[in-house]
Structure 1
């Protein structure tokens, strides 16, 4: 006599709120621009909501420690520049900038913002410098770039950090 036993398991999943939100998806054109948040009101995060259309260098998404404080939503990198297509839909970029605490003493890193290929803001910082807030008018801009200079690839320590970079949308 053969006996078959069938087991059924019930799994309950409870989702907790995640500040990082869902992974961005490609827009309808496949251009690399992500779909905006469902609310449509923003602010729109360059970490969570919008994907760059041009990538030069590796930026990490996630937490970084700057001037002894941890920041969970950041873009950071050794060197490079990422460019986002704004399609003239946004009015203001707001971000904080700094240098990661693991940057060796004496190193300086330059963080910059280009709008339409023109340098609009540049900050040269060292480890231990206070985080600075940057608010920039990007009204009518087609593309914006966040860049990091001043690092050496021989020394893999130290990163420029863009903390919570967000865009406000034109109403």
Structure 2
């Protein structure tokens, strides 16, 4: 719940997920417009589509990335600039602490898949595994929230167990 989240942590999530994408995009656009060519790939998250309790700021900040990118696609549609948004599910990274699995690719595997989608689809999960998972976004909202809560708890438990194991070593 938001009132239980540390204010600095909440601010950090918003700042990290929204400010750089806005500033860096604005910084590279002038040279791309001048050349009539360029590619911008903004990283969002599948969390942008799900109202997931306990991670409100994260999901909302990722929805910002989607909305921001979709507006830029309209503004620059005849400029020769490709603006794509990647909305992955779980990717195994040091930050996510999610283990590699069939549905949670390594960062390298995800990047290799996602890069093949540039110029083909403006907003995508970036890989077939996450695209299949995104079919769940068509479920009624109450079911999506229920499953999001379950997944969040499962992920928290797995992270806690790995952290305990690491401390014991």
TM exceeding 0.5: no
**Structure with more of its chain in strand, by fraction:** 1
| Normalised TM-score (structure 2) | 0.30
Q: TM-score, normalised by structure 1?
A: 0.29
Question: Bigger radius of gyration, 1 or 2?
Answer: 1
Bigger RCO (CA 8 Å, 6+ sep): 1
Q: Which has the higher helix share?
A: 2
